[in-house]
Structure 1
Amino acid sequence: MRRAPPLPPTRGATVHPSPQRPGARRAALAFIFVTVLIDVLAFGVIIPVLPHLVEEFTGGDVASAARWVGVFGMVFAAVQFVCTPVQGALSDRFGRRPVILLSCLGLGLDFIFMAMATSLSMLFIGRVISGIASASFTTANAYIADVTEPEKRARSFGMIGAAFGLGFVIGPLVGGWLGGIDLRLPFWFAAGLALLNFLYGWFVLPESLPPERRARRFDVAHANPFGALVLLRSYPQVFGLAAVVFLAQLAHYVYPSIFVLFADYRYQWGPREVSWVLAGVGVMSIVVNAVLVGRSVKALGERRTLLLGLGCGVTGFVIYGLADSGWLFLVGLPVSALWGLAAPATQALITRQVGPQVQGRIQGALMSLTSLAGILGPLVFANVFALFVGSSAPAEIPGAPWFVAAVALACAWAVGWRYARVPREQAAA
């Protein structure tokens, strides 16, 4: 029998685009990509100038400014640790669209607040608000899980990884150029990006989670970071993969914690050399996430792609730790870049394990683990580096932090070997 054509909408009814239609789904994924890109760009733009603005508020005292920048980073991660599961739970209950749009609006207004800051305390408050608003990455991941078939999610998460890489290539370069004109100009630029993204999303972004698939109530127990971690324990496969996420994120913090100091100490690289190396890392990340992830998952599956990526990360960190010359360190860059295969494959496997009504809370719990790694990582790697350099070091091993990161990734590989499995019913299908 031929299916009857759908009834036309009643007069006066508002028709919202459905992300389940191919065209709408592509537009929605494009918006999520742009959202993540603009968020990362906005944060990347202020990286070169925030420490100098802090230094300005501390009267030019470099040591005091360094301590405050460290406090800012730790508090930012701690705020995200608390807020990401809240945003995830809110998106499960009320939908992804309002949470993402409020986050974009909040970031835009907060960057304006920081651009107008007249004291260190105002700047500190602005960073706290940034930590709250930037938790939208949780909801962005849940949105992708809503609108993408399970077998295509790794590729979609790879595109999000490419947005991160592109943002961290362009952002600091633009921020450094604008900051040379005025230290506050990058904040105004970041505000404009975030507010333009809010307007774009207001007119383009459809809701991905229909009311019948939402959580029946706002779950307070799972809207706090510790309750969210308890939620992870109720899904054994997810809990094991969450351990992979935490260990991998912990290892990743070796880069912002010691790379600049390490490169100066061991290779006498200045800001120019370091910026080019970071740009190269960003370009390689784009290639891996945008080109190689989808092909690798298609050829090897999520499990083997995850293990391959983690294995390359371990190898790359060992090369970094052993490299006694700059050219040998550069040899490790493409090897370590393949580590980028692991994160999209991990995310895809996790989203296969749970239904749509808890995707937001699961993603919130994972982002809380990432924030927890952001609290612990800088302390671990900075202290390990300080221990093994200088005249009082028990042994001069400036590459020690890279070896610690390699051990963390090796542990993640072992856990991934145990828990990285596609659910049986999906594998059979």
Structure 2
Amino acid sequence: MTFHHRAVPIVLTAVLIDSIGFGIVLPVLPRLIVELGHVTMADAARIGGYMLAAYSVMQLIAAPILGNLGDALGRRPVLLFSMIAFSADYALQAAAPSIAWLFLGRMIAGIAGASFGPANAVLADVTPPDRRAATFGMMGAAFGIGFILGPALGGALSLLGPRAPFVAAAAAALLNALWIYFFLPETLAPERRRRFDWRKAHIIGSFEPLRHAGRAKWLIAVAFLWYCGHMVYPATWAFWGELAAGWDERMIGLSLAASGLSMALVQTFVTSRAIRRFGEERTVVLGLVAGGLAFVAYVFVRQTWIIYLILAFSAFQALVSPSVNALLSRYTSASHQGSLMGGLAALNSVAAALSPFALSQALAFGAERGFTGGNFVVAAALTAMALAIVLLRVLPGARREPGETAGDQPS
């Protein structure tokens, strides 16, 4: 594979290492919560939802700040800070003596996790508008490959105890920081930077560059609803695997690895082809349909081999995010790409702060009554709403503006 700028493979590698560290702890988190909290698995699912919400609230606060700092100071120092914070956080969680310490660790991780905005901004800095969807797809593929390796390693390391994956994650994050420090060039030239403005360092200010874009409000709504539904995986998958399918840590890790492999294949080999053939708007539709149908299937299926078939089909939901990101990136100037991506990360954090409560509560409430599909019922409903907006609002606008290019949009 040929890259158009040397910063691209460095950022993709950093995302890969980061996603390995994130995924490696997922298989053991349910058992660690049960052991530290002395609770049932259903109650552990609720606590896991609360932890993810705490993570996301901190990410909500930090994302627009880091995005705007990236526009003011450059992308490199922001990414370096985030990776160092990640390493310290995983080390803290490895030694956590109680649930409260795990909560603290997740809050620190939320601050560091806001780095995806600056990472996306690096790619936007060095990529022409007509190639951004494919480049964002490569970033999703890197994250997916990390999910192939991370959960599988986490499941294997669980044989050494539930804390061993956290130690490995801390080492991976430290390696990531060293990689960025020695190899990542700064991609935002000094003349393209702007002064840091606290008035813009929040979610509303982050979307200020989009205020004149006609279809942006509908795309933002689609991104919000989709991310709310898609949170069913990080918020409840490990708990659902134990409650619905009777999986242990190794099987949870293997299932997450299979999901990462299938999504990486789609984002590497399908995303750019689908966008060239159907356009970004219709590619979003394809991804939403695949994701929604998979959510419905999980409500009823319990056999492991069928779950893996659904995982393979659901990989086409990976078409949604890069297509939406590419559409939204048209509505802002080069000097505001950092605030755009920071705002998108903040929007995702709003969804991630709200949806885990509904998703984890639906799973736990149903599981206590013999039904383990409530989380996917909620996810399917949210996806259906996002699909309706695309069909009724986004696609009609695309038909009215067939010749639209990046230069046609106001900045």
Match of 1:401 in 2: 378
Measured at CA, do residues 51 and 315 of structure 1 come closer, stay the same or move farther in structure 2, by a change above 3 Å?
closer
- Work out the CA distance in 1 between the residues paired with 2:253 and 2:33: 21
Are the counterparts in 1 of residues 80 and 181 from structure 2 also a CA contact under 8 Å?
yes
* Pairwise CA distance, 1:116: 3.8
* Pairwise CA distance, 1:419: 5.6
Match of 1:156 in 2: 135
TM-score normalised to structure 2 length: 0.86
Deviates more, 1:217-226 or 1:175-184: 175-184
Match of 1:166 in 2: 145
Q: Considering Cα pairs closer than 8 Å and 6+ residues apart, tell me whether 1 or 2 has the greater RCO.
A: 2
Instruction: Report SS of the residue matched to 1:186.
Output: helix
Are the counterparts in 1 of residues 58 and 107 from structure 2 also a CA contact under 8 Å?
yes
Question: 2:51 aligned with 1:97, yes or no?
Answer: no
Instruction: Report SS of the residue matched to 1:26.
Output: coil
Measured at CA, do residues 195 and 311 of structure 1 come closer, stay the same or move farther in structure 2, by a change above 3 Å?
same
- Work out the CA distance in 2 between the residues paired with 1:37 and 1:298: 26
- Of all paired residues, the percent bearing the same amino acid is 35
Instruction: Report SS of the residue matched to 1:49.
Output: helix
- Work out the CA distance in 1 between the residues paired with 2:367 and 2:115: 39
- Work out the CA distance in 1 between the residues paired with 2:275 and 2:173: 33
Match of 1:244 in 2: 222
Question: 2:291 aligned with 1:313, yes or no?
Answer: yes
Are the counterparts in 2 of residues 349 and 422 from structure 1 also a CA contact under 8 Å?
no
Structure 2 gaps of 5+ residues are none
Are the counterparts in 1 of residues 209 and 331 from structure 2 also a CA contact under 8 Å?
no
Measured at CA, do residues 132 and 382 of structure 1 come closer, stay the same or move farther in structure 2, by a change above 3 Å?
closer
Question: 2:93 aligned with 1:114, yes or no?
Answer: yes
Measured at CA, do residues 411 and 321 of structure 1 come closer, stay the same or move farther in structure 2, by a change above 3 Å?
farther
Question: 2:202 aligned with 1:224, yes or no?
Answer: yes
* Pairwise CA distance, 1:376: 2.0
Q: How many residues align?
A: 403
- Work out the CA distance in 2 between the residues paired with 1:179 and 1:103: 26
Are the counterparts in 2 of residues 321 and 403 from structure 1 also a CA contact under 8 Å?
no
Residue number among 113, 121, 128 corresponding to 2:107 in the alignment: 128
* Pairwise CA distance, 1:136: 0.6
- Work out the CA distance in 1 between the residues paired with 2:150 and 2:89: 18
Match of 1:184 in 2: 163
Match of 1:360 in 2: 338
Q: Which amino acid aligns with 1:288?
A: V
Measured at CA, do residues 53 and 400 of structure 1 come closer, stay the same or move farther in structure 2, by a change above 3 Å?
closer
Measured at CA, do residues 316 and 417 of structure 1 come closer, stay the same or move farther in structure 2, by a change above 3 Å?
farther
Q: Which amino acid aligns with 2:119?
A: A
Instruction: Report SS of the residue matched to 2:200.
Output: coil
Match of 2:64 in 1: 85
* Pairwise CA distance, 1:92: 0.9
Question: 2:176 aligned with 1:207, yes or no?
Answer: no
* Pairwise CA distance, 1:183: 3.7
Structure 1 gaps of 5+ residues are 1-22
Instruction: Report SS of the residue matched to 2:215.
Output: helix
* Pairwise CA distance, 1:305: 2.0
Q: Which amino acid aligns with 2:378?
A: P
Instruction: Report SS of the residue matched to 1:346.
Output: helix
Question: 2:156 aligned with 1:145, yes or no?
Answer: no
Match of 1:424 in 2: 404
Match of 1:30 in 2: 9
Larger Rg: 1
Q: Which amino acid aligns with 1:413?
A: V
TM-score normalised to structure 1 length: 0.82
Are the counterparts in 2 of residues 53 and 183 from structure 1 also a CA contact under 8 Å?
yes
Measured at CA, do residues 416 and 381 of structure 1 come closer, stay the same or move farther in structure 2, by a change above 3 Å?
farther
Q: Which amino acid aligns with 1:424?
A: E
Are the counterparts in 2 of residues 138 and 367 from structure 1 also a CA contact under 8 Å?
yes
Measured at CA, do residues 427 and 328 of structure 1 come closer, stay the same or move farther in structure 2, by a change above 3 Å?
farther
* Pairwise CA distance, 1:100: 0.9
Are the counterparts in 2 of residues 306 and 416 from structure 1 also a CA contact under 8 Å?
no
Are the counterparts in 2 of residues 43 and 190 from structure 1 also a CA contact under 8 Å?
yes
- Work out the CA distance in 1 between the residues paired with 2:109 and 2:363: 29
